[in-house]
Each structure stands twice: as C-alpha cells, then as structure tokens.
C-alpha cells in the first residue's frame, strides 16, 4: 500500500473513531475518499481549489471544536497558504493537520510549479508547527494516530518513494538504526533507504528521524559517538543543521549534508532521475561518508 | 458610557499609546454598538459558552473600536483600555484571541478573519447549533483573493448562520475600485442589503435578518472617522495618532 492509499485507510479509520475529525480535500484524493464522503457527508468535503481560504476555514472549524485535516499538493498547501498556517494556526495556537502529496519532486514531469523541496524549511520558521516526514505507509499510520489530536498544527509530508522497512514508531522520537564510531548519519524520511545501503558495511551510527519538529536532541546527544555528521534529507538540504549544532553544543562538529540543492529543478523525467542527478543515491552518500571518515 | 464617550475613549487611548487606527475604529463603532447591545447572544462573564454567537473583526486594524465596546459590555474592566499598546497589555493594535476575553479570532493581516468565520459557521451548522456568526470586513479587504474564496465557500455550503457586514468606508477607492459590493456578493450567491452604517435603526433591522438558504451580507455605507469632524474622510489620519496638544480640539469636535 502506498502512502496515498494509507492516508485514506488511516483517516477513514479515525473518522469512524473520532467525531471531531473533518477532512478538507483540495480537489485531490477525491476518488480515494469517495466512500468516506458518502459515509460522512458532514465531515469529508471536496472543498475546492482555494488553499488560502481552506486553511483559514480549517482554523475556524478548530475554534468550534473540530480537528481539521487539510489535504492537497505540497506546494499549494504549504507555500501558497503559508501566511494562513502562520497566523491562523500557529499564532492562534489551534490544532490541525496538513497532509501533502508531491513531496520534493514526486510530480517530476509536471515541472517546478508542482515541486516543493522548500516545505520543511519554510515551516520550520513557524513557531509551534510540528513536521512529520514518514518513510513508510505504516509510519504515517502510526505517527498520524499519535499526533493528529494533540492540539498543535502538524504537517505530514507524504511521498511516492518509501523505505523498505518500517522503523519509526513514536512521534517526536528518533530511531537508532545502527551504532558505530566513525561517523553519525542523520537520515530523514525516505532518505533512509539509500543511507542504509551506503552504510551497511561501515562502523557508523545511523539515526532515523521521521519527526523533524520537535527535534529529538536527546537521542542525538546519546548516540553521537563521533563529531563527524552526515545529514541526509529528502528536501532542501541542510535544514536540520542548526538543530544538530544546538543539540551537540559546544562540541566542535564537522557536518556535511546530502539533499535537494537550492535551485529550481527545471528538468522533467522521473523521481529516480532527479535523485541520481542531485546525489540522493547510496553511491553518492557512500562517497560523502568516505570523504568525512577519511 | 454613551457612544460619544466611547469615541472619546478611542481617540484618547490611541493618543496616549501613540498607536492605533482611529478612523477605522470610528467607522465601525455604530455597527459594533448595535451588534453587542441588541443582537449578539454572548455572556461577558462566560465568554466561552459553546452556543454563543461569534463575532469576528476581520479588519483587525479597527481593534480599538472593538476594545471599547468589549470593555463597555464587561468582558474586561474599562481600566484595561488605558493599557492599550503597552508592553504587557492584552490590547494591541490588532486583536489577539488568546489574550482578550470575547475576541474569537486574532486578525490583522486582511482576509483571514472572514474565511475563519466561514469555518466557524460551517462547524456550528454541522453541529446544528443555533448560534450565528457575524464578521466585519472592510472594502479594502475586498482587494484580497481569500475574501472572494470565502464568499464562494459560504454560499456553496449554504451558511445561513453567517452574516458578513461590509464596512464600506471607501478607503480603497484611492487604490482599487471595488464597485457595487452588494451586486458582487449577490453574484457570489449571497442575499444582501445595503444600509447607512451609522443609522442604528437600519443597522438593527439589517442584523435581525438572515438569508433564506443563503449567507447574508450587509453592505454598510460608512464614513471613516465618523463622529470626529476633523477626521472624517481624511486619509492622513488612517494610521496616525494625535499629538497631545491636538487632543482637546479633536475631542471638542466629537459628535
């Protein structure tokens, strides 16, 4: 089951269990949610293609006791509606859930208007916004159930590419995939898959984060056996650098990062072609690891 | 305290704080007076009652007008008004729902309060609550896209519990003509009426109505700075506070 299918299954299950949940679809995922739209016509809406008002409307629903889920393509949900997320949810301290599809360049052939490698970076500037980047469908299910009703605005970043194995089981907590001495690799979401392939024979620590905010500094402090850090993220690279430095302060660090470069990826093609070109591959990650360890 | 005294308070606290949008506050003061005095079902001693009516000041810069009315109605003591703009005050240049009893939405950036009020109305409708939702928007706010997104959403979802009051004081005329707003709302599927936004009988009559199967918009023709002769329709006062030496003459010119 891919993440979009999991989204439907998870949210349908929570709709049944929790009468406070309301789903607002930005004309995306409508076929997937067709059954719940029939079952809960008062709580599942294809709201239309008006992301800014939809996010504000969701905040209004939150003020009268509902838990909104807003779902559409990442670029429109986050970058188009950024001020609504900032003022109507974060500033006003209202709870809500924002679930995107498209990730950095899942719509690779549609071009840059539908890319969103900047979502995590801009949301990190909104105080109070929680950010979840699941690496598998099961992880989305687990993390959504744990966080959806916690009273905070929470962003769930779904992606087409997923990891082969599920590791993350607790919101806000990093998983120690392996422990070693030469290097610490911090992998976020779907970046874990190439990291594990690259790191399988090396004496390195691999920490896996699916919750980006709040950042689990404790696990990093406990398992940072080396001052050399490689940060691997599936969005604009380097976003967690300051969190890592703050967590390990005043330890002197050498930090390198792999992720999406800060430029428009104006080529088309496939997700894998983009991954190859920008170096989100096990081969490239292994080379960066070797360079750090050297 | 009568309306003239409240106008005096608006001007005085803005002068003391050296902050505030006085003419915008005076533009909506008559509407707020009638709304809180005779229409809204709210209890100042229990501002969070679930089945209360909601009021949202989407044009948040008119905040001082709302503050003097809330204080007058007992949501907080009148003495709090004198703290306006101070570092630790609950009262700033735009209303904060997490600080001020009776404020339902934190507004300031335009066209946020209106779609939030649509969400409130939708939520209350789903719950079959008898509560109504009132929102005041400015004509300048009609420049913003989400204003019209909100108008579409409210009519599509037949939010008869929603009343949008347009404070049409023509502040945007110098930038972007918004034309006949009643016709625009009608074309978006709303029921509308047009009134003199300073005539209390007209305001009360309009606020009592609801749309039949539609949301309801009241286009209130208003005067920016109404009641203070020196400020009326004077753009220079939009975001300007009087010097202390100007205050006596301004208060003297109050109606």
Q: What is the pLDDT of residues B82-119, one digit of tens each?
A: 999 999 999 999 999 999 999 999 999 999 999 999 99
Please report the pLDDT score of residue B233 as a whole number.
87
Q: What is the DSSP letter of A20?
A: T
Partner residue opposite A52 with nearest CB, options B97, B145, B156? B145
Task: Examine the domain organization and report whether A80 and A180 are in the same domain.
Answer: no
Strands (E) located in A40-94: 44-46, 67-73
State yes or no: pLDDT of A46 exceeds 90. Answer: yes
Residue A165 lies in a domain: no
CB B130 within 8 A of CB B51: yes
B97 contacts A88? CB cut-off 8 A? no
Provide the chain B residues 92-151 that lie in CB contact (below 8 A) with chain A. 97-98, 104-106, 108-109, 111-112, 114-124, 126-127, 145-146, 149-150
pLDDT of amino acid A140? 98
For B:30-59, CB contacts with A below 8 A are 50, 54
Which of residues A157, A188, A203 is at a domain's end? A157
Please indicate, yes or no, if residue A168 is contained in any of the structural domains.
Answer: no
Burial (Cβ within 10 Å: 0-12, 13-18, ≥19) of residue A20: middle
Cβ of residue A247 closer than 8 Å to a chain B Cβ: no
Q: Strand, helix or coil at A158?
A: coil
Residues A64, A197, single domain; the answer is: no
Q: Do A56 and B121 lie within an 8 Å CB cutoff?
A: no
- CATH code where residue A273 lies: 3.40.50.920
Do A143 and A184 share a domain, yes or no? no
The reply to whether residue A58 touches residue B106, judged by beta carbons under 8 angstroms, is no
Residue A281 counted as domain residue: yes
Using a CB cutoff of 8 Å and minimum separation of 24, what contacts does A141-146 make?
A141/A6, A141/A9, A141/A10, A142/A168, A142/A169, A143/A168, A143/A171, A143/A210, A143/A211, A144/A10, A144/A11, A144/A14, A144/A97, A144/A99, A145/A10, A145/A14, A146/A170, A146/A171
Give the residue among B168, B186, B185 at the shortest CA–CA distance from B177: B168
pLDDT value at position B238? 83
**A127 and A224 fall within a common domain:** no
pLDDT in tens, A135-188: 999 999 999 999 999 999 999 999 999 999 999 889 999 999 999 999 999 999
| Contact assessment for residue B209 and residue B6, using Cβ atoms and an 8 Å cutoff | no
Range of the domain at A181: 175-293
In a domain, A162, yes or no: no
Q: State the pLDDT at residue A248.
A: 98
> So what's the pLDDT on residue B235?
84
Shared domain for A143 and A33, answered yes or no, is yes
Distance from C-alpha of A1 to C-alpha of A21, rounded to nearest angstrom? 23
HSE at residue A29, side-chain half, CA atoms within 13 A, is: 29
pLDDT at B239 over 90: no
Asked whether residue A148 falls in the same domain as residue A180, the answer is no
B121·A60 Cβ contact <8 A: yes
Q: Do A60 and B153 touch (CB under 8 A)?
A: no
Q: Can you give the pLDDT at residue A270?
A: 97
Same domain, A198 and A148: no
pLDDT the model gives residue A28: 96
Q: Name the residue in chain A with its Cα closest to that of B125.
A: A42
Q: Chain B contact for A80, CB < 8 A?
A: no
Q: Using 50, 70 and 90 to split pLDDT, how confident is the model at B1?
A: confident
Give yes or no: residues A199 and A57 share one domain.
no
Q: Using the beta-carbon criterion (under 8 Å), do B98 and A63 form an inter-chain contact? A: no
Task: Centre a 10 Å sphere on the Cβ of residue B42 and count the other Cβ atoms it contains.
Answer: 21
Verify that A74 and A208 share a domain, yes or no. Answer: no
Q: List C-alpha distances in Å: A267 to A138, A158, A164, A263, B96.
A: 31, 22, 27, 11, 45
Q: Mean pLDDT throughout A208-227?
A: 97
Residue whose structure tokens are 């750090």? A292
Decide if A163 is inside a domain. Answer: no
| Tally of domains in chain A | 2
- Per-residue pLDDT band for A294 (boundaries 50, 70, 90) equals confident
CATH for A95: 3.40.50.970
Write down all domains in chain B, each with its CATH number in brackets.
Answer: 3-252 (3.40.50.970)
Residues A21 and A89 in one domain: yes
Closest by CA to A138, choosing from A126, A146, A130, A128, is A146
Residue A67 pairs with which residues in a beta bridge? A21
Tokens for B58, please give them: 């989407």
CA atoms within 13 A of residue B159's CA, in its CB half-sphere = 31
**Pair A87, A186 in one domain:** no
Chain centroid to Cα A11, Å, comes to 17
Q: What percent of chain B has pLDDT over 90?
A: 93
In a domain, A152, yes or no: yes
Q: What is the DSSP letter of B50?
A: T
In sequence order, which residues have a C-beta less than 8 Å from that of residue B96 and are 6 or more positions away?
B90, B103, B106
Q: Is A87 on the interface with B (CB under 8 A)?
A: yes
Residue B236 confidence (pLDDT) = 86
pLDDT at B145: 98
Q: pLDDT at position B240, please? A: 87
- pLDDT at site B99: 98
Contacts of A88 in chain B (CB under 8 A): 112, 116
Domain boundary residue, one of A93, A124, A157 = A157
| Last residue in a domain, options A113, A130, A157 | A157
pLDDT confidence band for A224 (50 / 70 / 90): very high
User: Over the stretch B175-220, which tens digit does the pLDDT of each residue have?
Assistant: 999 999 999 999 999 999 999 999 999 999 999 998 789 999 999 9
SS3 (DSSP) at A116: coil
Q: What is the mean pLDDT of chain A?
A: 97
pLDDT > 70 fraction of chain B, expressed in percent and rounded: 100
Distance CA B165, CA B182 (A): 11
- pLDDT per residue as tens digits for the range B42-81: 999 999 999 999 999 999 999 999 999 999 999 999 999 9
Question: Do A144 and A179 lie in a common domain?
Answer: no
By C-alpha distance, which of B116, B83, B80 is closest to B97? B116
Chain B partners of A58 at a C-beta cutoff of 8 Å? 119
């Amino acid at each position: 089951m891919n993440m979009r299918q999991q989204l439907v299954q998870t949210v349908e299950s929570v709709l049944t269990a929790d009468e406070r949940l309301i789903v607002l679809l930005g004309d995306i995922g409508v076929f997937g949610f067709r059954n719940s739209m029939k079952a809960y016509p008062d709580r599942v809406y294809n709201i239309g293609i008006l992301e800014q008002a939809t996010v504000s409307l969701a905040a209004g629903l939150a003020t009268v006791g509902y838990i909104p889920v807003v779902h559409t393509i990442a670029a429109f949900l986050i970058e188009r509606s950024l001020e609504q997320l900032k003022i109507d949810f974060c500033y006003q301290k209202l709870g809500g859930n924002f679930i995107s599809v498209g990730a950095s360049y899942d719509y690779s052939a549609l071009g840059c208007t539908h890319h969103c490698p900047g979502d995590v970076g801009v949301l990190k500037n909104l105080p109070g916004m929680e950010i979840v980047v699941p690496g598998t469908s099961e992880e989305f299910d687990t993390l959504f159930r744990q966080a959806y009703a916690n009273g905070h605005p929470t962003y769930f970043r779904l992606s087409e590419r997923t990891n082969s194995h599920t590791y993350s089981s607790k919101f806000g907590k990093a998983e120690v995939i392996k422990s070693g001495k030469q290097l610490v690799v911090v992998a976020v979401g779907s970046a874990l898959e190439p990291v594990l392939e690259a790191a399988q024979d090396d004496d390195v620590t691999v920490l896996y984060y699916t919750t980006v905010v709040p950042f689990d500094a404790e696990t990093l402090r406990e398992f940072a056996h080396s001052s050399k850090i490689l940060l691997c993220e599936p969005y604009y690279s380097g976003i967690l650098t300051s969190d890592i430095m703050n967590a390990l302060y005043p330890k002197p660090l050498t930090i390198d990062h792999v992720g999406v470069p800060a430029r428009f990826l104006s080529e088309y093609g496939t997700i894998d072609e983009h991954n190859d070109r920008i170096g989100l591959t096990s081969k490239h990650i292994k080379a960066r690891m070797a360079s750090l360890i050297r | 305290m009568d309306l003239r005294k409240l106008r005096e308070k608006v001007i005085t606290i803005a002068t003391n704080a050296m902050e505030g949008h006085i003419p915008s506050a005076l533009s909506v003061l008559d509407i707020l007076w009638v709304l809180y005095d005779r229409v809204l079902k709210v209890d100042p001693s229990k501002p969070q009652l679930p089945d209360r009516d909601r009021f949202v000041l989407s044009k948040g810069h008119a905040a001082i007008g709302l503050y003097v009315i809330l204080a007058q109605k007992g949501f907080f003591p009148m003495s709090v008004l004198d703290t306006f703009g101070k570092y630790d005050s609950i009262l700033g240049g735009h209303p904060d729902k997490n600080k001020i009893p009776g404020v339902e939405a934190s507004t300031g950036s335009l066209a946020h309060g209106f779609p939030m009020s649509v969400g409130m109305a939708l939520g209350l409708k789903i719950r079959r609550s008898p509560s109504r939702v009132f929102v005041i928007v400015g004509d300048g706010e009609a420049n913003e896209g989400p204003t019209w997104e909100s108008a579409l959403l409210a009519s599509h979802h037949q939010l008869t519990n929603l009343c949008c009051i347009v404070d049409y004081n023509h502040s945007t005329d110098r930038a972007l003509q918004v034309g006949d707003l009643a016709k625009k709302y009608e074309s978006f599927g709303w029921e509308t009426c047009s009134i003199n936004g300073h005539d209390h009988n007209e305001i009360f009559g309009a606020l009592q109505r609801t749309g039949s199967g539609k949301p309801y918009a009241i286009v209130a023709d208003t005067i920016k700075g109404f009641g203070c002769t020196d400020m009326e329709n004077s753009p220079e006062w939009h975001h300007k506070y009087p010097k202390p030496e100007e205050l006596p003459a301004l208060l003297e010119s109050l109606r």
